[in-house]
Structure 1
Amino acid sequence: MKRGDGQNASNHLSAWVCPLLLALAAGCAAPRGTAPADARRFDFQRDTFAFANELRWEYRYDANGNWKTAWREPKPDYSQHCFVLARCTRQFFLNARFDPRQPIADEREYRRLVRRVVASSPRRSLPEGEKVVIPGYADLREFSRAQEALLKANCGGAWRSYFQRGHWRMIFPFTRRHQQSMAAQLVAHLARDGPLIVHV
């Protein structure tokens, strides 16, 4: 290989490696939302979905202490949506407002409203006047109990739980000190800004 060819190859390598490293670094640099001083506290009984996100596998120890897995029977109809529901829970909390005084809308209208919420930022709260108003229900728990099928169909596919920009960090080891530091940050965030999305 000529020296010039080696230089060109190096330039080509730098041309895509640098943007890749920048993109990976950006995965750690998620913007931090801030909650207004008068923001209400997250209420698990009101601000979560009424239906379950299940696993396709059952995990257990047998009589000899061996770890066993098996397909869940019957197969769950809604599974592997961990991140989807975590993200949507936060989006509804930050960017939607429920108004039980308004009449219940039709399916088409609720589909439109849910998609607006799902398209909103899970990191920053919309101003009160711009929040998506969900008519006919008092909170997310009540809404998801009545409109379960519609929400399952419109909150996002299971594939979203697997393709997240932050997943690449899980291949690196974490020290005890780092875990303690992160735990302290999470507790401080919960006290200051309310719920957040955590990959476990």
Structure 2
Amino acid sequence: MTEQQVVTELHRTLVLCLDLGGTFAFALSGAMVGIRRRLDLFGVLLLAYAASTAGGVGRDVMIDTVPPVALRDWRYLAVSVAAGGLAFFCTGVVKKLRDPVRVMDAVGLAFFAVAGTQKALLYGAGPLGAALLGMMTGIGGGIVRDVLVREIPAVLRSEFYAIAALAGAACVVAGGLLRVPVLASAVVGGVVCFGLRMIGIRRGWQLPVAGTPH
């Protein structure tokens, strides 16, 4: 195996690990929303799976890697079911987190924004396209989760959501352009995305809303 093949294989492994990390976090957030809405076990697990795979499925379709990895790799289903079951049967423990849905959502957003960008770059997307795909991977799960429970998705409201995902994705793209090791750019991008999202929540950062004074 050549050096380039080793680097590519390590890159693929990093994307897989980030994907599974994001799957777990978004599955927890989806499951907690289902529990709040008093869904049964099947409903909670279904919402967990939908929330944790929607962004990655959309990304894979756009970069023409079909069928999407979340639909052909058993680990994605296993991780989402495990996270959903954990939330369902250990609700008291999960609820001890401060605002668990938004915390897990922020973690998943960071994982998926970085993973989506890295995978897009791996499959030959340009810098702008990779950043946009990273953002879409990050926000996709939250959109599907909210739609399924008949809520307006956070990305369409005034919350600092998509901007955080785009900022994290841009860090990954910048790291690639500067030839920074992929792990380092992934860490920086993830920290930036998560940090911006959590700071936005804590400080009430909002984008302008139509009909309100700016």
TM category, shorter? under 0.3
Relative contact order, CA 8 A, sep 6+: which one is greater?
1
> Which structure would you say has the larger Rg?
1
Normalising by structure 2, we get a TM-score of: 0.23
Greater helix proportion: 2
